Amino acid sequence: MRAEPQSFDRVLSSMCTEPHEAAREAAERFLATNPGDPATYPAIADMEGEVVDALGQIASLSDPHGFVASGGTEGNIQAVRAARECSTARNPNVVAPETVHFSVRKAADVLDVELRTTPVDGDYRADPEAIEAATDENTAAIVAVAGSTEYGRVDPIPALGDVATDAGAMLHVDAAWGGFVLPFTDYEWDFDVAAVDTLAMDPHKLGQAAIPAGGFLAREQATVDALAVETPYLESATQATLTGTRSGAGVASAMAAIEALWPEGYRETYERQQELADWLAEELAALGLDVVEPSLPLVTANLDPTLFDALREAGWRVSRTATGELRVVCMPHVTRELLEAFLDDVRALRPRAAVAADD
Ligand SMILES: Cc1ncc(COP(=O)(O)O)c(C=O)c1O
């Protein structure tokens, strides 16, 4: 095999990062284990329980239920599936702000549930009134985002919890990206502040574990039970995860990363990366760009499409929002030096891009 994995030198678009050293080692050690078959691989199955407990602690849930998923997509699909299973509606629907991650669209699609998306407020956050207006007696779940993919915004979770309670629906919080930094902010996002039923948070994103490591948490065991199917040929009775065979690497690396970093390491990461995001936002604004003020370590700004293409051509792994804005995710591998080099290229390529755009 000749191919080499890409380096993180110029990666500004990813919500994943280099795993913590301890996570990398743990992933390798537990690569050939399968928590999906707990009677055969009890050590990794026990460790999965420890990861769920640790995730519960981070998300303020003292008696957590759940499992390590393959990522945020599985977490969101499982949340919608649990809500559908727990709902008595014949044609259940799910209501979410339009900023919801596209995995919720997949969830609606594979589960044959109607997804109703609602406009966000002027700051890209879910509008509880719009969410409420979209709910009805068939609403099985409201999905809120704590750390949105494009703008890093945190929806008003307590207000959405009230709407969900009034509608008799479950509230799922998608903190797949934000979950490991939100504990160090003033945002209200977790099980403690609202009627949150389920929550997704991914060790393989800001948790600095190896891929695949997502987390699915539920307040009630009954929610996880609603997902369980019988597993006749295994020595364990049921399985609640969507995937069958699962890599123990995800579980072990999540545990190792959390042991190494919770809470102080994550706090330092948050403070450093947030400071960088705030600084980048100021620098981009000084260049005359329209910048969306970062609320988490993610910067979005209007950028000329020709300049965007020139930056991609120069090797920068940057990405765009649905409406074409530049999106820079300040993950732990992103340093001040890296952003300075990026800004140098923005300045250098700007005049050339302007000429190309005029042609
Ligand atoms: C908020 C949010 N939810 C869910 C996901 C999907 O996660 P994954 O790609 O790990 O399945 C993402 C991915 O970036 C995300 O940002």
Residue among 205, 206, 300, 321 to mutate when testing ligand 1 (max atoms within 8 A of CB): 205
Ligand 1 atom having least distance to the Cα of 175:
1
User: What mean pLDDT is reported for the chain?
Assistant: 96
Residue nearest to atom 4 of ligand 1 (CA): 72
Encoding tokens for residue 244? 């069958």
Residue 115 falls in which region: left (phi positive, over 0), alpha (psi -120 to 50) or beta: beta
pLDDT at 351 over 80: no
Residue nearest to atom 7 of ligand 1 (CA): 72
Residues 296 and 327: beta-carbon distance below 8 Å: no
Q: pLDDT tens digits for 279-323?
A: 999 999 999 999 999 999 999 999 999 999 999 999 999 999 999
Q: How far apart are CA 349 and CA 342, in angstroms?
A: 10
pLDDT at 333 over 80: yes
β pairing state of 65-69 and 214-218: antiparallel
Q: Which strands sit side by side in the sheet containing 326-329, from one edge to the other?
A: 291-292, 298-301, 326-329, 319-320
Spatial CA neighbour of 142 closest among 170, 115, 116, 182: 170
- Separation of CA 72 and ligand 1 centre (Å): 4
Which pLDDT score is estimated for 3?
Answer: 92
- Separation of CA 67 and ligand 1 centre (Å): 17
Residue among 11, 13, 15, 125 to mutate when testing ligand 1 (max atoms within 8 A of CB): 15
Read off the pTM. Answer: 0.97
Residue 85: pLDDT band with limits 50, 70, 90: very high
Q: Which strands sit side by side in the sheet containing 114-118, from one edge to the other?
A: 65-69, 214-218, 198-200, 170-174, 139-145, 93-97, 114-118
- Separation of CA 102 and ligand 1 centre (Å): 8
Looking at the chain, the whole-number percentage of residues with pLDDT higher than 70 is 98
Which pLDDT score is estimated for 6?
Answer: 87
- Separation of CA 153 and ligand 1 centre (Å): 14
Q: Which residue has the higher pLDDT, 345 or 350?
A: 345
Which pLDDT score is estimated for 356?
Answer: 65
Which pLDDT score is estimated for 359?
Answer: 66
Which pLDDT score is estimated for 358?
Answer: 66
Which pLDDT score is estimated for 134?
Answer: 98
Ligand 1 atom having least distance to the Cα of 16:
14
Q: pLDDT tens digits for 16-70?
A: 999 999 999 999 999 999 999 999 999 999 999 999 999 999 999 999 999 999 9
Q: pLDDT tens digits for 174-209?
A: 999 999 999 999 999 999 999 999 999 999 999 999
- Separation of CA 73 and ligand 1 centre (Å): 6
HEC per residue, the chain: CCCCCCCCCCECCCCCCCCCHHHHHHHHHCCCCCCCCCCCCHHHHHHHHHHHHHHHHHCCCCCCEEEEECCHHHHHHHHHHHHHHHCCCCCCEEEEECCCCHHHHHHHHHHCCEEEEECECCCCCECHHHHHHHCCCCEEEEEEEECCCCCCCECCHHHHHHHHHHHCCEEEEECCCHHHCHHHCCCCCCCCCCCCCEEECCCCCCCCCCCCCEEEEECCHHHHHCCCEECCCCCCCEECCCCCCCCHHHHHHHHHHHHHHCCHHHHHHHHHHHHHHHHHHHHHHHCCCCEECCCCCEEEECCCHHHHHHHHHCCCECEECCCCCEEEECCCCCCHHHHHHHHHHHHHHHHHHHHHHHC
- Separation of CA 286 and ligand 1 centre (Å): 31
Q: Which residues line ligand 1 (CB under 6 A)?
A: 15, 71-73, 76, 101, 103, 145, 149, 174, 176-177, 202, 214
pLDDT at 355 over 90: no
Residue nearest to atom 12 of ligand 1 (CA): 72
- Separation of CA 54 and ligand 1 centre (Å): 20
- Separation of CA 155 and ligand 1 centre (Å): 16
- Mean pLDDT, residues 213-232: 97
CA geometry: angle at 287 spanning 348 and 330, to 5°?
Answer: 85
Residue among 68, 80, 149 to mutate when testing ligand 1 (max atoms within 8 A of CB): 149
Residue 156 falls in which region: left (phi positive, over 0), alpha (psi -120 to 50) or beta: beta
Q: How far apart are CA 88 and CA 132, in angstroms?
A: 19
Residue nearest to atom 6 of ligand 1 (CA): 72
Determine how many CB atoms are found less than 10 A away from the CB of residue 57: 15
- Mean pLDDT, residues 83-88: 97
Q: How far apart are CA 195 and CA 156, in angstroms?
A: 12
Residue nearest to atom 5 of ligand 1 (CA): 72
Residue 66 falls in which region: left (phi positive, over 0), alpha (psi -120 to 50) or beta: left
- Mean pLDDT, residues 235-255: 96
Spatial CA neighbour of 152 closest among 327, 296, 326: 296
Encoded amino acid at 246, one letter: R
Q: How far apart are CA 128 and CA 209, in angstroms?
A: 34
